[in-house]
Structure 1
Amino acid sequence: MILSFFDQFLIPQKLGLPLIILAMIIPPLLIFSNPTRLTTNRLSALQLWLMKIFTKQLMLPINTTGHKWAAPLLALMTFIISMNLLGLLPYTFTPTTQLSLNMALATPMWFMTVLTGLRNQPTISLGHLLPEGTPTPLIPILIIIETISLLIRPLALGVRLTANLTAGHLLIQLISTAAFLLMPMMPLTSTLSFLILLLLTTLEIAVAMIQAYVFVLLLSLYLQENV
């Protein structure tokens, strides 16, 4: 039976039930919770330190009224990082390679930033659709262009995350398949391919974390325009 390289991105099923729900439940269970002891262990302290640094960098350019978004954005980034890194383990599935899931994460968060702007500063939010000093004949065209650019933001968030993870996983499978098939014929070339595979896996780990940060960072920039 010949399988396609893209079969790795299919949602696995057991007894006819999709396992994507189980894959989404496992990553939050890996986050260390605060123990009841007076002092935390090293892993919990490291996790808390990283979260404080991320929250500080993320909320620094945002007004005080937008700081209430720190907890949802932090939870979203931790969730996406956990799911991205989960897919790098053998015999696992990466839920964030599915565009439907990424759009389900991006669209509500983007829509909430738009609603926040319309509630707090409706004039400024609507003013973004028409730059100041626009010539009168260009007003309808610019309003249409700015509206399209506003509505395409969640699609750009979801496609960016999906494309980066899909490309990385596909490249890893291509190189690993080549290294396996070349082993009996060209051992030296196969060894070099394996070394490249190790470097690519390290790069993919960095991409998994960076893409989660970029996803949340862009949401924070959208929030900054509306608070």
Structure 2
Amino acid sequence: MRAVVIVLAKAPEPGRVKTRLCPPATPEEAAELAAAALLDTVDAVAGVPGAEPVVALTGRLAGAARSAELMAALRDCRVVPQRGDGLGERIAAAHVDTAALFPARPTLLVGMDTPQASTVLLAACLDRLCSASTDGVLGPATDGGWWAMGLRDPRSARLIAGVPTSRDDTGERTLRALRDGGLRVDLLPELTDVDTAADALAVADAAPAGRFAAALARCPAFVAAS
């Protein structure tokens, strides 16, 4: 079954992304880290066999770190604008808007904060999603949120539009909302989002060959302070 992988992304503009990394990072360094994470994620998604890559984007790439590299990476992706008042609404809208582009295909949405999520892992997540025994998949994050959500019917994303985000029980609430809506939901492997300095170091260790790890290595004050 052909599917779509969506990257929910924010243009890595200094002062607007990864602000919890400052300090020890400067706003410019934090934006570089965010850009590297997004590039790693787009690469991983683009490599998934049989999957269409879509980026749901907010912000201006023109003012972002590594803007030329990002624009080149997104040429092979369908890019749709994010819409909605809160993060839950934006996530739901990204599924629905993608389904309008690619009807009748399952959708797997990931953020840009887990650059350690490889092509192999994403392909395995899609295999789980497309099995006959499930209606959806959810990847829990170590901070209590989630890093990936897949739906066989993207319209089901409406079930999570009102779930509060950025809480230590967001993942639990999201899973409950999906299951209370009648969906059979399987859990994916747990990953760490890049939110704090400790998270950044852990993620770089998990994917030492990626752009994110290379960008982190160029921030000696950040690494030393962490």
TM-score (norm. length: structure 1): 0.26
Structure number with greater CO (CA < 8 Å, separation at least 6) is 1
TM-score (norm. length: structure 2): 0.26
Bigger radius of gyration: 1
Structure number with the higher helix fraction is 1
